[in-house]
Protein backbone atom coordinates (compact mmCIF):
# COMPACT_ATOMS: atom_id res chain seq x y z
CA UNK A 1 0.00 0.00 0.00
CA UNK A 2 1.21 3.48 -0.77
CA UNK A 3 -0.17 6.95 -0.30
CA UNK A 4 0.63 10.54 -1.16
CA UNK A 5 -0.58 13.77 0.33
CA UNK A 6 -2.64 16.38 -1.51
CA UNK A 7 -4.09 19.79 -0.72
CA UNK A 8 -6.81 21.69 -2.55
CA UNK A 9 -7.84 25.30 -1.99
CA UNK A 10 -11.61 25.53 -2.31
CA UNK A 11 -12.84 27.99 -4.89
CA UNK A 12 -15.60 29.03 -2.51
CA UNK A 13 -15.19 28.47 1.24
CA UNK A 14 -17.49 25.88 2.79
CA UNK A 15 -19.34 27.52 5.68
CA UNK A 16 -20.03 25.36 8.73
CA UNK A 17 -21.19 26.08 12.25
CA UNK A 18 -17.55 25.69 13.31
CA UNK A 19 -16.33 28.25 10.77
CA UNK A 20 -15.34 28.46 7.13
CA UNK A 21 -13.29 25.74 5.48
CA UNK A 22 -11.08 27.18 2.74
CA UNK A 23 -8.70 24.27 2.10
CA UNK A 24 -8.98 20.48 2.14
CA UNK A 25 -5.99 18.26 2.72
CA UNK A 26 -5.79 14.52 2.52
CA UNK A 27 -4.24 11.46 0.96
CA UNK A 28 -4.61 9.43 -2.20
CA UNK A 29 -4.11 5.77 -1.36
CA UNK A 30 -3.38 2.80 -3.63
CA UNK A 31 -2.71 -0.89 -3.24
CA UNK A 32 -1.79 -3.53 -5.82
CA UNK A 33 -3.38 -6.96 -5.65
CA UNK A 34 -3.73 -9.73 -8.22
CA UNK A 35 -2.50 -7.48 -11.02
CA UNK A 36 -5.00 -4.70 -10.28
CA UNK A 37 -4.60 -1.37 -8.47
CA UNK A 38 -7.24 -0.24 -6.00
CA UNK A 39 -7.40 3.50 -5.31
CA UNK A 40 -9.03 5.42 -2.44
CA UNK A 41 -8.85 8.78 -0.72
CA UNK A 42 -8.79 10.02 2.83
CA UNK A 43 -9.68 13.65 3.47
CA UNK A 44 -9.92 14.06 7.23
CA UNK A 45 -11.86 16.95 8.69
CA UNK A 46 -10.59 17.73 12.20
CA UNK A 47 -13.46 18.09 14.60
CA UNK A 48 -15.47 15.51 12.67
CA UNK A 49 -12.81 12.87 11.95
CA UNK A 50 -9.21 12.34 12.96
CA UNK A 51 -6.60 15.03 12.32
CA UNK A 52 -4.46 15.05 9.19
CA UNK A 53 -1.47 13.89 11.26
CA UNK A 54 -3.43 11.02 12.85
CA UNK A 55 -4.71 9.98 9.41
CA UNK A 56 -1.15 10.04 8.05
CA UNK A 57 0.03 7.92 10.98
CA UNK A 58 -2.78 5.37 10.48
CA UNK A 59 -2.04 5.07 6.75
CA UNK A 60 1.72 4.90 7.36
CA UNK A 61 1.18 2.07 9.82
CA UNK A 62 -0.87 0.13 7.28
CA UNK A 63 1.68 0.78 4.54
CA UNK A 64 4.50 -0.43 6.79
CA UNK A 65 2.58 -3.56 7.83
CA UNK A 66 1.65 -4.24 4.20
CA UNK A 67 5.29 -3.88 3.09
CA UNK A 68 6.52 -6.36 5.70
CA UNK A 69 3.70 -8.82 4.98
CA UNK A 70 2.34 -8.49 8.52
CA UNK A 71 -1.07 -7.25 7.42
CA UNK A 72 -3.12 -6.27 4.44
CA UNK A 73 -5.36 -3.21 4.19
CA UNK A 74 -8.55 -5.28 4.04
CA UNK A 75 -7.79 -6.93 7.38
CA UNK A 76 -7.61 -3.47 8.96
CA UNK A 77 -11.30 -3.05 8.14
CA UNK A 78 -12.17 -6.31 9.86
CA UNK A 79 -9.96 -6.18 12.95
CA UNK A 80 -10.71 -2.63 14.11
CA UNK A 81 -7.21 -1.25 13.47
CA UNK A 82 -8.78 1.89 11.97
CA UNK A 83 -11.62 2.29 14.48
CA UNK A 84 -10.29 5.68 15.60
CA UNK A 85 -9.40 6.87 12.09
CA UNK A 86 -12.61 7.15 10.04
CA UNK A 87 -11.01 9.05 7.13
CA UNK A 88 -8.25 6.44 6.82
CA UNK A 89 -10.88 3.70 7.13
CA UNK A 90 -12.83 5.37 4.32
CA UNK A 91 -9.75 5.30 2.07
CA UNK A 92 -9.19 1.61 2.72
CA UNK A 93 -12.88 0.86 2.13
CA UNK A 94 -12.71 2.69 -1.20
CA UNK A 95 -9.59 0.90 -2.43
CA UNK A 96 -11.06 -2.42 -1.33
CA UNK A 97 -14.25 -1.67 -3.28
CA UNK A 98 -12.18 -0.49 -6.23
CA UNK A 99 -10.32 -3.79 -6.30
CA UNK A 100 -13.62 -5.69 -6.20
CA UNK A 101 -15.13 -3.61 -9.01
CA UNK A 102 -15.26 -4.59 -12.67
CA UNK A 103 -11.98 -3.36 -14.19
CA UNK A 104 -13.55 -2.96 -17.64
CA UNK A 105 -14.34 0.78 -17.19
CA UNK A 106 -10.61 1.53 -17.01
CA UNK A 107 -8.73 1.31 -20.29
CA UNK A 108 -5.40 2.82 -21.22
CA UNK A 109 -5.11 4.35 -17.76
CA UNK A 110 -8.27 6.43 -18.22
CA UNK A 111 -11.58 5.89 -16.50
CA UNK A 112 -14.63 5.67 -18.74
CA UNK A 113 -18.31 5.95 -17.99
CA UNK A 114 -20.75 3.70 -19.84
CA UNK A 115 -21.75 5.29 -23.15
CA UNK A 116 -19.86 8.44 -22.24
CA UNK A 117 -16.55 10.18 -22.78
CA UNK A 118 -13.46 9.53 -20.67
CA UNK A 119 -13.32 11.37 -17.40
CA UNK A 120 -9.65 12.17 -17.90
CA UNK A 121 -8.43 10.49 -14.74
CA UNK A 122 -4.90 9.31 -15.45
CA UNK A 123 -4.19 6.73 -12.74
CA UNK A 124 -0.57 6.42 -13.90
CA UNK A 125 0.04 10.14 -13.30
CA UNK A 126 -1.14 9.85 -9.70
CA UNK A 127 0.76 6.65 -8.86
CA UNK A 128 3.54 6.15 -11.42
pLDDT at 127 exceeding the cut of 60: no
Gap between the terminal Cα atoms of the chain? 13
pLDDT at 28 exceeding the cut of 90: yes
> Do 119 and 110 contact (CB within 8 A), yes or no?
yes
Q: How confident is the model at residue 18 (pLDDT cuts 50, 70, 90)?
A: confident
pLDDT tens profile 52-105: 999 999 999 888 877 666 556 778 888 888 999 999 999 999 988 888 876 665
pLDDT for 86 equals 95
What are the phi and psi torsion angles at 19 (to 5°)?
Answer: 125, 175
**Chain-wide mean pLDDT for the chain?**
81
Pick among 3.40.640.10, 3.30.1330.30, 3.40.50.300, 3.30.390.10: CATH of 2-102:
3.30.390.10
Beta-carbon contacts of 113 under 8 Å, excluding residues fewer than 6 positions away, are 105, 119
pLDDT at 117 exceeding the cut of 70: no
> Do 31 and 62 contact (CB within 8 A), yes or no?
no
Amino acid sequence: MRFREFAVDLRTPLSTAAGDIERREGFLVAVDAAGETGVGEATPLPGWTESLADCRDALAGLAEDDATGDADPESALENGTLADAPAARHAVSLLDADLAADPAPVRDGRMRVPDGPGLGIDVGAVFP
